Structure 1
């Protein structure tokens, strides 16, 4: 569906060249919800502008549905852009137009007759949950409602790809979850490919199938969201995962837990998928003569399954604790001794 090959974008800043995107290779499947995460300056906003042809790469190619976006221009490029829509952080609505007039705007530009335009607008109003608000102006809407208008407008021309540029970062947590649920519903109903950029791991965890982590213009880590949560490799990815797992293995965290639980071993367990629903601790206690105390835990749900971490305090002899850890490993539970007695 989307293929980026060795894509680089360099800007001349007057003080030298700035490489915003540096040799990125990406392949995104049709119907996938794909996340791109990174902090400010990572290059993710530039990358998404390359996907819809608003920017041309300095080198490399961007291909969408067998059409090389980097090789076309003029009328052909404008037609291609109609199949790649975008929603924005700050909504970008026309404040002098009502909800239905905002949604109709791209259809007007495309020359769609008024009767077909009106029917399509009402379909979209219902799809995004704004029935009864179609005659309201943006100033009369909440932030979440404004973003729903933005989503409906982006869907007006039946795009094949929906790009989301920090689409929820201006919203409160509850509204963010509602908008993310809407995007998942649209993805399932329409089979739409969604590419979103964000600096919030909660967004990635909740709706994405795969994620690319960007730093310094490069993709430094790429994979299935559940796999990335289970075993993040890069330091920046570990920081992002810690945003939602709340079990960051920093020296400070371990020191704090050691002060609270000064005896025994502190052991972190990682559960993935169906493991989160298994009575592993019950079996551990029944089969091993160790004292088990739950210190800290968290379960996060992703589109591909659940991911959980649990920190235990294990008390017993060295042999008993070693046998307990061996039992957990035999149950395919990833274990890590964070601190010894």
Structure 2
């Protein structure tokens, strides 16, 4: 569906050239929800804006749905952009127009007759859950409702691709979850390819199939979300994964335990899929002469499966502890003895 070949974007400033995107190669399959994550300044927004030529690459090729966008004439590019919808962090609605009129706007530009416009807008209002709000103005809507209008407007011309530029960053957690659920619903119902950029790992975890991690204009790590969660390689990726699996309060609690000079060992267990739902601690207590103290734990749901981490303190004879750790490792549960945070 989308192929990026050696994409570069250089901005020339008074202080010299800035490589906002630096040699990125990327393939995104049809029907995927593909997440791109990175901190501010990583080049995410520049990259996503090159997928519809709002930013033209300095070099390289962008191919969407079989069309090399940089080779198209202006009329051809305008037509190609109708197949690429986009939603934004701050909604970008027309404040003097109603919900109905905002959604109809791209159809007006495309020259769709009024009767067909109205029919299409009615469909979209229902799809995004805004029944009864067609005559409202953006100032009369909540943040989540505004983003739903933005999504409906982006879908007006039946695009094949939906670009989401920090689409949930301005929303509270509950509203964020509702918008993410809507994007999943749209992805499934319409078979839409969704590219989503964010700095929040929660967003990636909840809905994405694949994720790419950006740093300093480059993709430093990429893969299925579950694989990246299980075994992050780059330090940048590990930082993002810890946002979900090891929040700050967990690290502080572990640091406190480790500083006490306690007997035994602190162990981190990592579960995947059905293993996250097993009564492993009960089995440990029954099989081995060890005391088990649960320090912290969390199970997260990804799009594909469950992923969990559990920190426990094992106390007892060293041989029994070693046997318990070996048993855990034999149960397809990753096990790591923690010496310091």
Tell whether the structures are fold-level matches, with TM greater than 0.5.
Answer: yes
1: CA distance, partners of 2:329 / 2:192: 40
* Residue equivalent to 1:136: 136
- Map 1:245-256; keep pairs closer than 5 Å: 245-246=245-246, 254-256=254-256
CA gap 1:247/1:339 in 2 versus in 1, 3 angstroms: farther
1: CA distance, partners of 2:37 / 2:339: 32
- Map 1:22-101; keep pairs closer than 5 Å: 22-101=22-101
Deviations 1:266-302 (A, max 9, x none): 0000001111112222222222221111110011111
* Residue equivalent to 2:288: 288
CA gap 1:250/1:12 in 2 versus in 1, 3 angstroms: farther
- Tell me by how many angstroms 1:252 deviates: 6.1
- Tell me by how many angstroms 1:152 deviates: 0.2
SS in 1 for 2:194: strand
Q: How many residues align?
A: 340
* Residue equivalent to 1:326: 326
* Residue equivalent to 1:178: 178
2: CA distance, partners of 1:255 / 1:120: 57
2: CA distance, partners of 1:89 / 1:260: 45
Unaligned runs of 5+ residues in structure 2 are none
* Residue equivalent to 1:163: 163
- Tell me by how many angstroms 1:248 deviates: 6.9
SS in 2 for 1:25: strand
2: CA distance, partners of 1:160 / 1:37: 22
CA gap 1:3/1:253 in 2 versus in 1, 3 angstroms: farther
CA gap 1:134/1:67 in 2 versus in 1, 3 angstroms: same
* Residue equivalent to 1:231: 231
Q: What's the TM-score once normalised by structure 1's chain length?
A: 0.96
CA gap 1:143/1:128 in 2 versus in 1, 3 angstroms: same
* Residue equivalent to 1:308: 308
SS in 1 for 2:36: strand
Over the residues paired in the alignment, what is the CA RMSD in angstroms?
1.6
2: CA distance, partners of 1:338 / 1:306: 23
* Residue equivalent to 1:109: 109
2: CA distance, partners of 1:248 / 1:240: 12
* Residue equivalent to 1:337: 337
CA gap 1:17/1:250 in 2 versus in 1, 3 angstroms: farther
Decide whether the 8 Å contact of 1:296 with 1:312 is kept in 2.
Answer: yes
2: CA distance, partners of 1:130 / 1:155: 14
CA gap 1:250/1:277 in 2 versus in 1, 3 angstroms: closer
2: CA distance, partners of 1:98 / 1:247: 42
1: CA distance, partners of 2:5 / 2:248: 34
* Residue equivalent to 2:299: 299
* Residue equivalent to 1:215: 215
- Tell me by how many angstroms 1:249 deviates: 11
SS in 2 for 1:34: strand
1: CA distance, partners of 2:145 / 2:136: 10
1: CA distance, partners of 2:93 / 2:247: 40
Decide whether the 8 Å contact of 1:247 with 1:309 is kept in 2.
Answer: no
1: CA distance, partners of 2:251 / 2:186: 43
- Tell me by how many angstroms 1:339 deviates: 2.9
Deviations 1:23-46 (A, max 9, x none): 111110100000000011100000
Q: 2:151 matched to 1:151? A: yes
Q: What's the TM-score once normalised by structure 2's chain length?
A: 0.96
Decide whether the 8 Å contact of 1:254 with 1:338 is kept in 2.
Answer: no
Decide whether the 8 Å contact of 1:100 with 1:134 is kept in 2.
Answer: yes
Decide whether the 8 Å contact of 1:86 with 1:165 is kept in 2.
Answer: yes
SS in 1 for 2:25: strand
* Residue equivalent to 1:205: 205
- Tell me by how many angstroms 1:251 deviates: 8.1
